[in-house]
Structure 1
Amino acid sequence: MFSDADAAELYDTLNPWDGSRFPADAFYDGLVTAAGSVLDVGCGTGAMLHRARERGHRGRLVGIDPDLAALGRARRRGDVEWIAGTAAEIGLRQEFELATMVSHAFQCLVGDDELRRSLTAVRGALADGGCFAFETRHPQAKAWQDWNPAQVTEIAGLRMWHEVESVVDDVVTFTETTAQPDGTVLRVDRTALRFLDVAPLNAFLAEAGFEVAEQYGDWRRGPLTGASREIVTIARRVDG
């Protein structure tokens, strides 16, 4: 058996949070450091908030995620608040200067209704003038074309690969297989991600009461171009 707890531990091995090595982590580290209070939606194993505390952040830090195994690892630090739930269930009112969704968690909001409810909840959790920072893979880059069994990751004595099942409109459904070195399958996880383009993304934000303050095509704050692989967004809560 390869349990949910095993999967959460492997995720941390595959995705260490390190702003000195990864531009995406450095981007969010700067935002979090500058904010007095932070809500991380889809916090997973809590690596970003763990690092913030290690770096001396003294304000309120809250992480929310529906994955109980991931939260189990997040809760290794007791000086951060951890909440089991989804973005749409936050129920916090005007309490944070900054909300984040990192590591492409925003793309897990697949349906229109789910996306609208989640954006409304995030806006509600932000204080006046608060900002929501997140990223989504730019659909023009077609990142899913690299998600195939030929691209195998070998780590911690295991083999992992992905296989796309379907691409329907802007939703890509794929599986992630974890196996032993001899190919014996231990676990298969199925995921659907939404690849919103810039115009519909910004329309959803505006409908939910956000205005786009900054939007970039890479982690070094470069402009959106025809070659951009990311849509990195900082949206500000519109009052009223």
Structure 2
Amino acid sequence: MRNAEFNDPGLVAVYDAECPWGPDDDFFLAEVGADPAARVLDFGCGTGRLTLALAAAGHTVTGVDPARASLDAARAKPGADRVTWIEGGGEALLPAGAYDVALMTSHVAQFVVDDDEWRQLLGALRRSLHDGGRLLFDSRDPADRRWQRWNPIDSRRMVHLPAGDAVLTWMDVTAANDLVVHFTRHFRFPDGELRSDAVLRFRTEQELRGSLDEAGFRVERIHGGWQGEPVGEGNDGEFVVVATAV
């Protein structure tokens, strides 16, 4: 199943257990904190780890995601009543000028594979922000070639669920052409195995800058990691983008 880890309730539970708070969350929470009591759009909010923290910090937060199972998990968490949750994609980003900050975290940008859809999404995000509003997101640097480590040996790990079960998970790449990478995640439960197929688009820094400029953003900074490293330095292999709506 395509993107089952976000759409299957059992796999959503694995995702939550596998992805605790990390340095990326610290970065985005601190960046948004530069605008006290900001109106924040968390696009692709998933199970709401960062979304809920932003609301707890005093921001007015809207979480948007197309995966109902992920949103159901987010809505069931403490503090969820502080957030406006919307099931949908770019078409749900209304009204115009409603937000001070828009986020796309956990490499949500890479799940938008088609370049026309990427342009449309950036356009919708620009319309959702007032002039001077900020867009913050991450996307893996293709020069890091992270997908080469997505194999059954290097990606193999055990995830322990709160109920006590242990799930063995691993990845394998099935195709990688023109920076479009197809891969499968395997999940071995005590009583059976599930899989989740996915496709990611790795965009170069030049491609990101060009598409942001076309959509009406000015790139303020692109870091190469969560500690503000220059692109290509450090071990994170990221593009961490801070852009302003102009």
When the two structures are superposed, what TM-score results if normalisation uses the length of structure 2? Answer: 0.88
2:10 is aligned to: 6
- Give the match's secondary structure for 1:221: coil
1:197 is aligned to: 204
Does the Cα contact within 8 Å between 1:42 and 1:87 map onto a contact in 2? no
What aligned pairs does 1:1-240 form with structure 2 within 5 A after superposition?
Answer: 4-17=8-21, 22-35=22-35, 36-54=38-56, 56-57=57-58, 59-76=59-76, 77-150=80-153, 151-156=155-160, 157-180=166-189, 185-225=192-232, 229-238=237-246
Does the Cα contact within 8 Å between 2:187 and 2:195 map onto a contact in 1? yes
Cα pair distance change 1:192/1:88, threshold 3 Å:
farther
| Structure 1 residues without counterparts, runs of 5 or longer | none
User: What is the CA distance between 1:33 and its match in structure 2?
Assistant: 2.3
Does the Cα contact within 8 Å between 1:88 and 1:119 map onto a contact in 2? no
List structure 1 segments (4+ residues) > 6 angstroms apart after TM superposition.
none
- Look up the equivalent residue of 1:154 and give its one-letter code: M
CA distance in 2 between counterparts of 1:135 and 1:88 reads 21
Identity between Structure 1 and Structure 2 (%): 34
- Look up the equivalent residue of 1:31 and give its one-letter code: E
Number of equivalent positions: 229
- Look up the equivalent residue of 1:230 and give its one-letter code: E
When the two structures are superposed, what TM-score results if normalisation uses the length of structure 1? Answer: 0.90
Q: Could you list the per-position Cα deviations for residues 23-50 of structure 1 after superposition, in whole angstroms to 9, with x for gaps in the alignment?
A: 2111001122233111001000011011
Does the Cα contact within 8 Å between 1:88 and 1:117 map onto a contact in 2? no
- Give the match's secondary structure for 2:17: helix
CA distance in 2 between counterparts of 1:158 and 1:107 reads 26
User: What is the CA distance between 1:226 and its match in structure 2?
Assistant: 6.3
User: What is the CA distance between 1:127 and its match in structure 2?
Assistant: 1.0
| Structure 2 residues without counterparts, runs of 5 or longer | 161-165
Q: Could you list the per-position Cα deviations for residues 24-82 of structure 1 after superposition, in whole angstroms to 9, with x for gaps in the alignment?
A: 1110011222331110010000110112233x31x310010000000001112111000
State the Cα RMSD in Å: 1.7
